[in-house]
Structure 1
Amino acid sequence: MADILLLPFGSAGDVFPFIWLGRQLTARGHRVRMITACLFEDHARRAGLEFIPLGEQDEFEKMIRDPRIWKSGIGTKVVFEFAAQSVEPYLAAIESCGKADLMLAPMTAFAGRLAREKHGIPLITVHLQPAVFLSVHETPLLHPAMRFFNKLPVWLKKAVLALPNPVDLFALPKVRRICLANGVRPPRSLWREWWDSPDGVLVLFPEWFAPPQPDWPANLLQWTFPLEDLAKEQVLEPELRAFLENGERPVVFTPGSANVQAARFFAVAAEAVRRIGCRAVFVTREPKQVPPDQPASILTVAYAPFSTLLRHAAAFVHHGGVGTMSQGFGAGVPQLIMAMAHDQPDNADRLERLGAGRGLSVRQFTPERVGRELQHLLHDPAIHQAAQACAARLRQAPAPEVLLEWIESRMK
């Protein structure tokens, strides 16, 4: 039995894939401990994992309540700065566990790489979205202007990508100081030296969503979407079940589990569904974001496992987080994305290329446009066929034994 540490960083879409990994590794007989924000302690423990809280809950809440988090470009700065501030508490939690056999962490959990260099613990970098690969062959669409960038020749892309990277501008100075305080030689660039672990890189999205590129790391295993949403532990609430059973299929709306500034999103959603006369389910951890006095055709819930809920949905409207979008793929429903920041524009672009939905910018997300796009999604047979094709591909996912054996081979 090995001692394995999971170090997810971010919102539910970032944490749930690690819960899925933890389930699989625990079933193999390993001891698995998760270190992340206090907000996810109940989720992890219900899945059978040991849990070590990272800092105080209000620290993570403070980050997600910063309105800049959902601004293109600026949101990246907020995330990287918070990632740098989390290094010391992450490292302290790792060291409190004693000598582990293996760590799995995203690139933003910089303490994982620091612990590797300081203590020699093997590290697997886990990438959840293709937007983290700044390939010159298929550069992710992190901003609408990058559509023009992708038309440039490879040599010119290389020259542009050689310029300073945001992670080095916003996180590297603090990470350098922490490295020196721990007797570790700091990287000259987090992106070029610490982005991918030499011990292994695990990619949790399938090739049909993002095919591998020649400049991806060589020591990489590409898998598929984990589709973890705690459906085993949480069934649909009686009120929601009754709503789904007594009427036509609704459109499901969610701005993401970490989005607590979504009042405009729900105001637009409410007006759009009123205009086209459909039913809707609004999913938000803060129901006060929904306009008051909604008709009986709209039900608001704090949480519902999407793998269960979306089986009853006519369409899915959301922010474009990769975990949320993969649940839409799994259910085979047409999707509409309001892409704000981070990996969301790239995910929306890939959704459109698959023909399974549409992407809008925040400015384009208006009642008129959303109503028009929903009518298109609800009635276009080609989009429904493409969405069903994505679901069929996911049903062909390989058994996890090969993945788990690869993970175990990364240990000393």
Structure 2
Amino acid sequence: MAHIALLPFGSAGDVFPFLWLGRLLKKRGHRVTMIVACIFEEVARKAGMEVIPLGDAKVFEQLIADPRIWKLYEGTKMVFEFAGQSTETFLEPIEQRQGTADAFDLMLAPCTAFGARLARESLGIPLINVHLQPAIMISAHDMPVLLPGMQHFNKLPLWLRQWLVKLPNPADRFAAPMVAKACAKRDVKPPKSLWWDWAHSPDGTLCVFPEWFAKPQPDWPEGVKQWDFPLEDLATEQPLSEELRRFLAAGEKPIIFTPGSANVHAKRFFEVAYAAVTRLQKRALFVTRKLDQLPPNLPNSILPVEYVPFSNVLPQSAVFVHHGGIGTLSQGFAAGVPQLIMAMAHDQPDNAWRLTGLGAGLGLTPRSFTPDRVSSALERLLNEPAFSEAARACQKLTLARRDQAGLAGWIESRVS
């Protein structure tokens, strides 16, 4: 059997899909090692992975403590700068094991784990790039909505859209210089464009979002395998607490609010949520890793929790309000509940646009996320049958999952 390296990059929503892949590959008998930020070491070990922890927890905490991470453009700049700086960090443990009994036969990584691609070029280890969201698959035929108003770009002539997608991109602007330095140390020719030359590995690209959510496009690269949403949320390792079970059983279905696992700047989000559910006289569940950003003296109708596996609680909810991360969104689809997204940055605006296009929810910007607008949106989602019907249709599509043996076989075919 093969020794396979998984190299997720980002927050919990970026790591969990790789836990799902790791579980699948372990069941097939492969040795699986996750190379991941040290703050996820315990989670990965509990899921049964071998782990190579990276970095200092303080560095990650400093990154998410910077409010710019949730701003349009600024957040993208920070992510790609950090990705560039992490190139050597990801590459070194791969190089150290090369030529030993612990050498890797295959790597699975997002395109932002540039060290994995450099390992492919310098050491010859096959690489599958794993894309979690459609916004990564930049296409002139289906331009991602990365900024407010970009949905209108798809009305432009195709030739103009083809020109627009080739404009300077964040990867080349903010990460390429650091990647080039790492390449020079290994006598590897750096890519002309870090994004267009390195985002999709020649060995294969795995898109873990289904065709009904984002159709394949004519200008996608060759070698793309599109699959179902992973839907990994540690439900096996973290069952619902007794307090939460009692809360869910004590009254009507609550509205669930979460700003994202890494968001420690959500004080206003929860103030608005509190005002909206108070106005509507609804019960609510507030989910955040940082409980001190919640309003004080919450009534018994609102339960705060630090973490909850959404697959266990969303089927018992009325509406799901969140930031628009792809993992969070897909859990809402699986539960068949209407969703309200407050998209801030990164892939979130594009995910919100796709949700509204499916008719299964609504989207607001941070500026428009006010008590009046949120209350109005919640009333619509609670009372207009079309939203519930569309949400159930998305649920049916999400739960119609393919045999994972097909995915495992495709991955195994890339092993050297």
Residue 336 in structure 1 maps to residue 336 in structure 2: no
Alpha-carbon distance in 2 for matches of 1:54, 1:388 = 41
Structure 1 contact 321–347 (Cα < 8 Å) conserved? yes
SS of the residue 2:155 aligns to: coil
SS of the residue 2:8 aligns to: coil
The structural deviation recorded for 1:219 is 0.4
Aligned to 1:34: 34
Unaligned runs of 5+ in 2: none
Per-residue deviation, residues 16-49 of structure 1 (Å, max 9, x unmatched): 0000000000010000000111111111111111
- One-letter amino acid matched to 1:326: S
Aligned to 1:348: 352
Match of 2:362 among 337, 358, 379: 358
Structure 1 contact 172–190 (Cα < 8 Å) conserved? yes
Structure 2 contact 5–108 (Cα < 8 Å) conserved? yes
Alpha-carbon distance in 1 for matches of 2:271, 2:164 = 40
Aligned to 1:66: 66
Q: Percent identity?
A: 61
Matches within 5 A, 1:209-248: 209-248=213-252
Alpha-carbon distance in 1 for matches of 2:96, 2:57 = 19
Aligned to 1:95: 95
Matches within 5 A, 1:400-411: 400-411=404-415
Per-residue deviation, residues 185-237 of structure 1 (Å, max 9, x unmatched): 11111111101000000000000000100011110100010100010111011
Structure 1 contact 124–201 (Cα < 8 Å) conserved? yes
SS of the residue 1:45 aligns to: helix
Alpha-carbon distance in 2 for matches of 1:39, 1:312 = 30
Which consecutive segments of 4 or more residues in structure 1 shift more than 3 A? none
Structure 1 contact 54–93 (Cα < 8 Å) conserved? no
Matches within 5 A, 1:79-228: 79-98=79-98, 99-228=103-232
Alpha-carbon distance in 2 for matches of 1:215, 1:159 = 13
Per-residue deviation, residues 349-400 of structure 1 (Å, max 9, x unmatched): 0000111000100011001110110011011111101101111112211010
- One-letter amino acid matched to 2:130: V
Alpha-carbon distance in 2 for matches of 1:96, 1:361 = 45
Structure 2 contact 144–151 (Cα < 8 Å) conserved? no
Structure 1 contact 129–343 (Cα < 8 Å) conserved? yes
- One-letter amino acid matched to 1:318: H
TM-score, structure 2 normalization:
0.98
Aligned to 1:258: 262
Alpha-carbon distance in 2 for matches of 1:133, 1:203 = 9
Match of 1:310 among 311, 314, 330: 314
TM-score, structure 1 normalization:
0.99
- One-letter amino acid matched to 2:42: D
Alpha-carbon distance in 2 for matches of 1:30, 1:59 = 32
- One-letter amino acid matched to 1:79: V
Range moving further from structure 2, 58-67 or 203-212:
58-67
SS of the residue 2:22 aligns to: helix
Structure 1 contact 251–315 (Cα < 8 Å) conserved? yes
Structure 2 contact 143–151 (Cα < 8 Å) conserved? no
Residue 21 in structure 1 maps to residue 25 in structure 2: no
Aligned to 1:396: 400
RMSD: 0.8
SS of the residue 1:316 aligns to: strand
Structure 2 contact 3–104 (Cα < 8 Å) conserved? yes
The structural deviation recorded for 1:149 is 1.8
Alpha-carbon distance in 2 for matches of 1:287, 1:238 = 19
- One-letter amino acid matched to 2:108: L
Alpha-carbon distance in 2 for matches of 1:159, 1:379 = 43
SS of the residue 2:342 aligns to: strand
Alpha-carbon distance in 2 for matches of 1:219, 1:309 = 37
